[in-house]
A and B are shown apart, each in its own frame.
Chain A
């Protein structure tokens, strides 16, 4: 189909109750509407949010500075609770990252058409979440300036990292994940950056978009190479969805701490990560699609699919919870039994039960199509899952450490303002990056949506014929 030809017919299947693209759209109208968010001037709401998140970023910087100057003692950690907020936040953020890669890579391979309009969004979220996540293991070190000892480089001291430990693998997994996600995201961005360049009206925009679009002309050769590279990267990224959180789960599973030492951890962590990632996609998608005028490409159909996925992964996570507690009981091991009993009824038992509500009960709402279609319900449910997944990491990490083998070691843990500063500060930083993303980069992949539009159109015509 030639550029600019106006399609008169709505691209929708009469049998499908929910369309992927709403309204009568043409390639031109799509390009225009999808580039609109970055071509408009920033509104008041954007600036308000910008300053809010900038403040959060400032808090983050302050908390980081305090941590570096005073030491980890500025946090609430102690012996036995050697890991707490730092690692919880790390796992939480890295978990969020999983939805992006899932949507963009795995769904590409499975040729899921609906992914087109949400993948940019999800990938950006992934990148920014991984950036937050990557900070925490470094800050968490007692001597963070020596972090590079985790990297297998040929050191003059002739010492390699210890590969029996999960942490060097963590380092490799996260770095790889970040790099591949970045490449994948950037590659997908090229045609859209070129579109933005082509439509840019100021020399500055022309220059910057021109620079980053790497001379994209849209020639058949470009498209050919681009498609091959995109598919290859999708293939490369796919195992990462599984590997990253598997390795993160090893941090716990290979240790012998009661409540950590469990073979269910790798799949359970991966499911949890995707679960939380999908929830965060929904949390961010729902409020922005209206103001950015993306209702026609991010439709209720997308929300419907995402909530169904949320339900599916929620069930997997619930199964993981069940297994954890079942195996603690089935093992008959007194330390495991005590650790899980403490998790349920101890000092932080109330957090565990909140987590059960948000992560097990809340997703059950999405058995009902009516609730899946209700944006407010979905948004609050997704928010609950976001929070619940933080609590999940808390109840895995803190109560297990606080209640291990020797009763003498049992100790209370209470976080400090720096702990909360890092948690909320990282949210601020994430939000800031996300706002900048919405302002400067087309949030929906224009070329892919246009392609989808064309395909849907074509399919409809064939059907009609």
Chain B
């Protein structure tokens, strides 16, 4: 009797096992997705995170966009030099002092579900992004649009409340991505699980935290993609991502840790491609919190930090030391700000001039990143030399963002991925009450210049304004810029035709495997 019972238990375990494996939750065939990839018809891309969203109008994570590039097209795009070029719009005209944009659209485009792409589809997309009810993160980017009018089946007019020169640049990002109106209406909130665009690849399937598969779209209007299938795998851990690349499981990764770059360069099977950053990294100072409400202390911090040492020690010189939030790659960068090493004597003097004794504050660092932790420690020791004591506190990222928004901090280590246009990189950070202005910073001149730089269209004028802003920010020091995180993509030597765009997004249609 007992023996039989035991037998049943054993059988039960086996049965569980079979059930366990049987209902693995996959619908399509992905058996080849994790095999060592030898086929030249499949590209396996390793991402640094599982994209939270496949709906561009709901997306707030940069990693989403790596996948969007294959599924969607934008109205206008950038080329490898960052110049705006036609994509779904063949041409455009800016009239009425920069307040009216008229786009002429391609006539040979279909969405992957067969829906024709036309002016109505464009209007549908803009209306969805602008509708406050859809709570789209895009609203803050294109909120200056007052209305979108269909002029003819392939001509659409976008009218702005006031001139807004970064608009085209913003449309190269998620705000300009066109979703199939049919699919959006059909799927509703579930669109993210069944995304449909006009891009070179169409969505096949997704198993969360495991893979996203896309296949070449036969009806694609542009040059046919060279590789039939692309599989995206998320590897949040940098070591795991690199191991998969080294062992041949993955063909291309969207980013590698700075500490690993030398190792990858030495590997005979791998190569690394570099592009200057468009974002910035540094320390947000709460300008309403003592002692950081004292401008002398903030200036002292600015001078006490040896950015070159940080770049060398922590980032192996694969980042560029920063003195303003506008990176070297941007036309708006002000190269006259040169203080990348520490001036300890001047910083000490500033601390004395502040009249404050026992100067100390807490610096919050996002938990889970060794690099950020090292950065905190280096800043701590550099500031100690000038008489400022820093306490470090590790905080989980989501919590840190909230504490930032609530101004519940002294200082936090936070940066920004940046945008192609300088306006997108700094406006929301330094305008009074801006969405990213965790500092609580407000300077009437900076506000004026930021707004002017949005409305004037001459690049020369804009450059001058951004230089003035950078210099004022250096003086007021609400944000301590430390480095520009350059972008590194690592891949197998067999990956051909990869083009590194300044927005760091992988456009897979030009890639082939040897």
- Please say whether chains A and B are actual partners in one complex: no
